[in-house]
Amino acid sequence: MELLTGQIRDYAWGSRTVIAQLQGRPVPAPGPEAELWLGAHPGAPSTVQRDGTSVSVAELIGQDPAGWLGEPTAERFGGRLPYLMKILAAETPLSLQAHPDAAQARQRYAAERAGSATAGGYNYADPHHKPELLVAVTDFDALCGFRDPQRSAEVLAALRIDGLEPVVKALRTGPDGLCEAMQRLLTWPADRRADLVAAAVAAVADLAPRFAADGDLLRGLARHYPADPGVLVALLLNKVTLAPGEAVWMPAGNLHAYLHGAGVEIMAASDNVLRGGLTPKHVDVAELLRVLRFEVLTDPVVRPQSVAAGVITWPAPVAEFTLHRVVLDDEVPQVTVAVSGPRVVLCLAGGVAVDDGLAAVAVSPGRAAVGPALPAPLTISGAGEAFVASVNVDFA
């Protein structure tokens, strides 16, 4: 194992305190720090030190993919690290978005490159899917998956906005009406969007108490996006507040948005994002509707499963990644974590030593370590909290 230096992304929605405080830097940071990327993604590859020089992990993997990834992983994923781990710190809401499945990503990426880009550019940055798992490390607010359309119809009807009547009618037909409801909201005439959001916000004061949470969500989003129909789309989704240790799982076609909080996220290494609103970035409604899965997600929260004393995980049905959390204290000062393929270990609290059988390294909060695929499990010792990312080679 060796120390890994991640790259901070300064997206406008990021926190100026979370990552800086975690790493022991002055708070507030000079600007927003939204994500700390830990991996080999070409957009911002992490680095290690070699002879006093920072060297990209992506470059090292490219020079010896079988040695770094292990032959099975290198062959299956084309010689690239298939996952990206992040610390995500959202101060303000992110966009409503969804990701394609693997077949859609391959087909649409090839079709776009064979044709021409849309006015907003290509929708597909690569031919890969992007399933995601986010584990809260603070209380974390998110929108995740469609809720019962009847409940959504009730709150939209309670706003008493005449123009929303076709949307309400579609939702009252159940899940089959979700696509029409989405299409009507996302294609609302541009010159009438601000009026729609303003009317909805004005109507919140007259909502029944049972719609209080919906009203709070609507008003909060409207403060950031006063002319975006995504503010109304949010009322079609499950609003969840995760406690630390709880997670949300975003498979292909799941409409979601992170609202506020800090978490550790792991995903397949892809940039394929189709946005539907709550963003100044490119929105392609037709393409978003093409990939969405219009089904109700009854319970979007994923609870951890115990693996051993001090070790938990959140099983995800993908080959690209697995994620474990390790908590060490006087009662459990050392654990072994059996993971396959290349490993990235992120320390969140205290201090841990990580040993892969070849070399050990001490990791402090907000820092990480990386190591190649080896048959031996990781040994992690100390007093603190760490997240371990690797590949899920057992997933067919």
Catalytic center residues? 275
Nearest by Cα to 317 from 238, 244, 254, 240? 254
Copy the structure tokens of residue 218. 């609507």
CB atoms within 10 A of CB 376: 11
Helix, strand, coil percentages (3-state) for the chain, rounded to 5, are 30, 35, 35
| Chain position carrying tokens 């974590």 | 337
Q: Report CA 330 to chain centroid distance, whole Å.
A: 33
CA distance readout (Å), 207 to 211, 303, 388:
6, 33, 45
Q: How far, in Å, CA of 200 to CA of 293, rounded?
A: 26
Residue 296 class from Cβ within 10 Å (0-12 exposed, 13-18 middle, 19+ buried)? middle
Do 42 and 34 meet the contact criterion of CB atoms below 8 Å apart? no
Instruction: Give the length of the chain.
Output: 396
* Spatial CB neighbours of 122, under 8 Å, sequence gap ≥ 6: 112, 113
Torsion of CA 243, 245, 249, 254, to 10 degrees: 20
Sign of torsion over alpha carbons 41, 45, 48, 51: positive
